[in-house]
Structure 1
Amino acid sequence: MNFWHPDLPSDMSEEEVDKFVNDYKSVSEFASTPVPPSMLVYVDDSGDGGFKFDSGSSSHLIMAAVVFKDLDQMSALKAAFERCRAATGHKAEFKFAKTKDRVKDSFFAEIEPVEFKARVIVINKNLIWARKYRQNASMLKNLAIHQLLDHGFGHIRDAKVFLDGQDTKAFGIPDSHYVMNSVKPGAIREVKFADSKSTIGVQLADMVAGAVNWRVRTHKHQVPKYFEILFPRMIQPEGTLWHFK
């Protein structure tokens, strides 16, 4: 056999060489196999970055990240979505602001057994006075994403992060490198801009953000029931509910 390796003794038999070659190939293939990320993180928001409160701007901006440390739980989430659709007849994307209350009731009941944590930042815009944020809605959303991902306190690490690709302009994010370079080293392995219509994790983040927004908003009547269902997932240290000031 015409095979040479610096660790291969010159007096090996043909059978020994064959075994060495097969072992070498197995190790090489194993080394080249992509290692999955340690966790999956899906991010979306509720509310807006505007400050025209007399013209319909929301009182709060909510940015939510749902964190899956067990990657197999995505299958459980998919099954929960399917059960909710079967029970309610809901066919569209799950977006909190556009989903009927009876569908919300079913949705939050069905996801109860799914294992994930929620890290949420709440920004009361009435407390934000910096001109750069009040004059640029995307800068405020950018700030919220940066603060949420950069303050993981070790609970977001080696993560693959999914952001709604339709919102990147609204978030003021030019590309994935911008996000990765704005957080602590080791927190994020990869950033992907996803289509929320086909990415159930982003839809879950939207539903979580919307539930928190309904609880804290002051420009409309507060509805706390969905927030109360989700709150145990926000308990520190793996979860968080951060009222940013």
Structure 2
Amino acid sequence: MLVFIDESGDPGFKVSKGSSPAFVVAMVVFRDPAESVRALKAIDEVAKKHGVKPEFKFSKSRPEVRDAFFEAVQSFDFCVRAIVVRKEVIQSGHLRSNKEAFYSFFVKSMLKFDNGLLKGASVVIDGSGERIFKQELAAYLRRHTEKGAIKKVRFSDSRNDRLVQMADMCTGAIARSFRDNRGDARRWHQMLGKKIEDIWDFK
């Protein structure tokens, strides 16, 4: 089982100074690793056709590229689970003041409350952040999830990993669906359709 994780938004709380009002983290899960290879090849084809360099990022993609991306991956066997955090509901001073704790807590929460989905999963997370934080996060996730749920955790640079890019695109689609001020708010969420198994609106 392969799991790819990325986030949309940031863990900051200075919304009036540019921080995002919400934070979304999502995971794309392939129960069969061979299916992930097929999806990767399809994503490569879309990249070539639309001249996407160096990577797919939802926030920087044109609508027609987003359409092509989600059309290309629709036929593959994967699922998506996500957690949406509206920052105004967070009362914890620790989470509000410590960005790494905030990020770790919500990634852990998504993985822990997985409805029994994860079994021996190899988890791949977009590789931003300092080396020490990565090590601490990997240990934290293993410690706070069900025994046997996570086999290993590694970090990968999204520029060189199409499936981390897939996680970015799916996370972005879900985040966009929570923005009522956009006419296309649910367009790509709907393209994912039943691939989305759960969205936890954290309260």
* TM-score between both structures, scaled by the size of structure 1: 0.76
Q: Do the aligned residues in 2 keep the contact of 1:64 with 1:120 (CA within 8 Å)?
A: yes
- Opposite residue 117 of structure 2, the aligned amino acid is H
From 32, 42, 56, give the equivalent of 1:80: 42
- Report the equivalent of 1:243: 201
Identity value in percent: 32
From 108, 130, 140, give the equivalent of 1:146: 108
- Report the equivalent of 2:97: 135
- Report the equivalent of 2:150: 188
- Opposite residue 240 of structure 1, the aligned amino acid is D
- Opposite residue 43 of structure 2, the aligned amino acid is F
- Opposite residue 170 of structure 2, the aligned amino acid is V
From 123, 138, 144, give the equivalent of 1:161: 123
Q: Counterparts in 2 of 1:83-232, with a 5 A limit?
A: 83-167=45-129, 174-217=136-179, 221=182, 223-232=185-194
Q: Do the aligned residues in 1 keep the contact of 2:4 with 2:124 (CA within 8 Å)?
A: yes
- Report the equivalent of 2:5: 43
Partner secondary structure for residue 43 of structure 1: strand
Shift of 1:89: 1.6
- Opposite residue 244 of structure 1, the aligned amino acid is F
> In the aligned structure 2, how far is the partner of 1:85 from the partner of 1:200?
10
Shift of 1:182: 1.9
Shift of 1:168: 5.9
Q: Do the aligned partners of residues 123 and 158 (structure 1) sit closer, same or farther apart at CA in structure 2, a change above 3 Å counting?
A: same
Q: Do the aligned residues in 1 keep the contact of 2:104 with 2:137 (CA within 8 Å)?
A: no
> In the aligned structure 2, how far is the partner of 1:129 from the partner of 1:53?
15
- Opposite residue 123 of structure 1, the aligned amino acid is V
**Per-residue CA distance 1:109-128 (angstroms, 9 max, x = gap):** 11111110001111111211
**Per-residue CA distance 1:120-142 (angstroms, 9 max, x = gap):** 11111121122112212222211
> In the aligned structure 1, how far is the partner of 2:134 from the partner of 2:38?
33
Q: Do the aligned residues in 1 keep the contact of 2:4 with 2:29 (CA within 8 Å)?
A: yes
Shift of 1:90: 1.4
> In the aligned structure 2, how far is the partner of 1:122 from the partner of 1:113?
26
Total equivalences in the alignment:
202
> In the aligned structure 2, how far is the partner of 1:167 from the partner of 1:242?
25
Shift of 1:231: 3.3
> In the aligned structure 1, how far is the partner of 2:127 from the partner of 2:143?
18
Determine which structure has more spread, i.e. the larger CA radius of gyration: 1
The two structures, once aligned, show a CA RMSD in angstroms of 2.0
Give the number of the structure with larger relative contact order, counting CA–CA contacts within 8 Å between residues 6 or more apart.
Answer: 2
Q: Do the aligned partners of residues 201 and 136 (structure 1) sit closer, same or farther apart at CA in structure 2, a change above 3 Å counting?
A: same
5+ residue gaps, structure 1: 1-38
